[in-house]
Amino acid sequence: MPSLIVGNWKMNGLGDDVAEIAAMAGGNTGRAQLWVAPPFTLIDRAVIVSAGQIRIGGQDCHGAQAGAHTGCVSAMMLADLGAHFVIVGHSERRADCGESDADVRAKAGAAHAAGLEVILCVGETAVQRSEGQADAVVAGQLAGSLPDSAEGLIIAYEPVWAIGTGTVPTPDDVAAMHAVVRGALTARYGASGHGVRILYGGSVKPDNAAALLGAADVGGALVGGASLTAASLLAIAAAAG
């Protein structure tokens, strides 16, 4: 199965920037699957310029399908725009917006009901890792956040201390945590847990992508800043081999 490379643009991108998505769609060699989550304001335009060569998704959704939630976006709204997936539980949402594991689980359930694939993020802070709590923290997040079904589910392990810092865990460290994640998935879903893809995220760049993607049980990468240009994201995709 080809590696899955997902670009998370976060709060970046204006109308002219969809040209980068068009370039990604035209430049991918097929060695990896490319998905991109632009800001909500660009999803419909990104769907058009991607021409079916890249899957477009959202960076978040609400746990309800509709209602009195000013400023929020539902999973059904994302699907209506042509999105195929949504990211839930990113550490920046957990920290900046106070999202709990229960919130993340509700969002994953809503996304599944709307027919979207779900990229569910987990990861520990630097303090938690230094205190030897990394495995327990990630396992706890999974226990509280996983939806009822493994269908259409992808897990992204993103150590908080590596996101945007340039500090990257070793491939052995990544493999060890992915083993923890896999164990939690099989405990929760049985045999179906073996089919859930696990991505690594956190300061993934063209020059370290090959080593990280080569670690055991790494099915791809969730990429932040390095996904904003076609040149960078395509280089990461090429490193997938």
Nearest alpha carbon to residue 188 among 147, 138, 141, 134: 147
Q: Looking at 90, 92, 99, 124, which residue is catalytic?
A: 90
User: Is 99 considered catalytic here?
Assistant: no
User: Under a CB-based contact definition with an 8 Å cutoff, are residues 89 and 107 in contact?
Assistant: yes
User: Under a CB-based contact definition with an 8 Å cutoff, are residues 112 and 63 in contact?
Assistant: no
Q: Looking at 20, 124, 158, 178, which residue is catalytic?
A: 158
Host H or E run for residue 181 = helix 171-189
User: Under a CB-based contact definition with an 8 Å cutoff, are residues 108 and 145 in contact?
Assistant: yes
User: Under a CB-based contact definition with an 8 Å cutoff, are residues 78 and 116 in contact?
Assistant: yes
Strand partners, 8: 37
Strands 3-8 and 32-37: parallel
Nearest alpha carbon to residue 6 among 170, 198, 173: 198
Q: DSSP letters of 121-138?
A: EE---HHHHHTT-HHHHH
User: Is 158 considered catalytic here?
Assistant: yes
Nearest alpha carbon to residue 212 among 162, 142, 141: 162
Catalytic residues: 90, 158
